[in-house]
Amino acid sequence: MSAVIFDCVEKTYSDAPGSLKALDGVSFSIEPGEFFGLLGPNGAGKTTLISVLAGLARASAGRVSVMGHDVLTGYAQARRALGVVPQELVFDPFFSVRETLVIQSGYFGVRHNGAWIDELLEGLGMADKARVNMRQLSGGMKRRVLVAQALVHRPPVIVLDEPTAGVDVELRQALWHFISRLNKQGHTVLLTTHYLEEAEALCSRIAMLKKGRIVALDRTENLLAGTASTMLRFKTDQALPPDVAAQARVTGRSVQLQAHHAEEVEGVLKRLREAGVRVEDLEIGRADLEDVFFEIMQNPAHAGQP
C-alpha cells in the first residue's frame, strides 16, 4: 500500500480571472518510508497539491489518499496519518509552546502525550522554551513549534511545505537532522522546497511540477544522470555573444552553460575568445539538481505529463 496516492487530481479556481487551473491531472504515489521531493517554481501548484492532501482545499476532480484512506470519505483517518507543516509562520498568541502542543495533541484525540512532547522539544532544540508564550518567540523558534505541532500525534506521513524558507543555517541543519532521523525510523516525508541542494541531498525521489502538471518524476540520481552531465561555469563583466547568451543561465556576473561533451566546452570557449569576452574563475563541474531543474523548467517540450 502506498503512503500517499494522487490520482488524476485537478483543481480549478473558477473565481479567478479566466478560471485558473492550478492542478491539471496530477498522478503519482509515494511509497512508505520514502523521502520525496516536490519541486517547482512559484505558482506551479505545489501548495495547492499539499492543500488538497491536507484537506485545506477540495480537488475539482481526481482522488487523493493517505495510508489507504481517501482524504474526503475517510478524512478522519487520513488526517490522523498526516502531519502538515504549513508554509506560513502562523501561531496562536494566547498560548505557551507546551500548551500549543498539548492542545494540538488533544485535537487528534491523543492524551497524556507529555513524554513525546518533551522528546519533540528536545529534538528541535527548544526544551528551554516550553513555558514561553508563542508571541515572545523568534521567527526560527516559531518555525520549530510548527514542526513540533505537525508531529505531535506521531503521523506516519509528514508533509513539509517549504519549511526552511527564511530560516538560518543552524536551524536548517537541526531541522534536517531531526526529519532525517524520523525518516530513518520509517516515517514517509513529502517535502517542497526552493533550496534545491536540500532536495538533492535529502530526497530519494523527486517530482517536478510546472503549471499544475508533473513534468519530471524519477529517482534523484536518475534525474541527475539523465540531463547534461557537465556544466561550464565562469564569471565575466562583458556581454556574451547572442548565440551563447541564448543558452546561458546568468546570475549577476556568474554564467552557467550546459556542455554535453568536451568538444562542446571547446566550442563555447572558442566563441567567447572570438567575441573578445574575458572570463574569470572558469570551472567545469558535474550538473546538480538546480541545473536539472533549470533545464526542465526552460524546456518547452515539458508542457505535459512525462
Partner 1 sequence: MRNSLAALEGASTLFRKEVLRFWKVSFQTIGAPVLTALLYLMIFGHVLEDHVQVYDSVGYTGFLLPGLVMMSVLQNSFANTSSSLIQSKVTGNLVFLLVTPLSHGAWFAAYVGASMVRGLAVGLGVFAVTAAFIPLSFVEPWWIVIFAVLGSGLLGSLGLIAGLWAEKFDQMAAFQNFIIMPMTFLAGVFYSIHSLPVFWQQVSYFNPFFYMIDGFRRGFFGQCLPLVQPGRGGHGLCGSGGLGAVLVGPRLQDSRLNSLIDSG
Contacting positions for partner 1 (CB under 8 A)? 51, 54-58, 75-77, 79-80, 82, 84, 86, 88, 90-95, 99, 103-111, 149
C-beta of 48: minimal distance to partner 1 in Å?
Answer: 11
C-beta of 140: minimal distance to partner 1 in Å?
Answer: 18
Strands 230-235 and 69-70: unpaired
With a CB cutoff of 8 Å and minimum separation 6, the contacts of 195 are 164, 172
Residues, the chain:
306
For residue 98, which of 79, 80, 81, 115 has the smallest C-alpha distance?
Answer: 115
For residue 222, which of 274, 268, 287 has the smallest C-alpha distance?
Answer: 287
Give 73 or 222: the residue with its C-beta nearer to partner 1.
Answer: 73
Give 45 or 228: the residue with its C-beta nearer to partner 1.
Answer: 45
The span from the CA of 274 to the CA of 241, in Å, is: 9
C-beta of 159: minimal distance to partner 1 in Å?
Answer: 9
Cell, residue 271: 566563441
Give 51 or 258: the residue with its C-beta nearer to partner 1.
Answer: 51
In the sheet with 213-219, reading across from the earlier edge strand, the strands are 82-85, 157-161, 188-192, 35-39, 205-210, 213-219
Give 92 or 197: the residue with its C-beta nearer to partner 1.
Answer: 92
C-beta of 109: minimal distance to partner 1 in Å?
Answer: 2
Give 56 or 245: the residue with its C-beta nearer to partner 1.
Answer: 56
Give 51 or 183: the residue with its C-beta nearer to partner 1.
Answer: 51
Give 44 or 150: the residue with its C-beta nearer to partner 1.
Answer: 150
C-beta of 81: minimal distance to partner 1 in Å?
Answer: 10
Q: Spell out the SS3 assignment of 58-123.
A: CCCEEEEEECCEECCCCHHHHHHCEEEECCCCCCCCCCEHHHHHHHHHHHCCCCCCHHHHHHHHHH
Within a 10 A sphere around the Cβ of 214, how many other Cβ atoms?
24
C-beta of 92: minimal distance to partner 1 in Å?
Answer: 5
C-beta of 95: minimal distance to partner 1 in Å?
Answer: 8
Cα angle, residue 115 at apex, residues 93 and 66 outer, rounded to 5°? 75
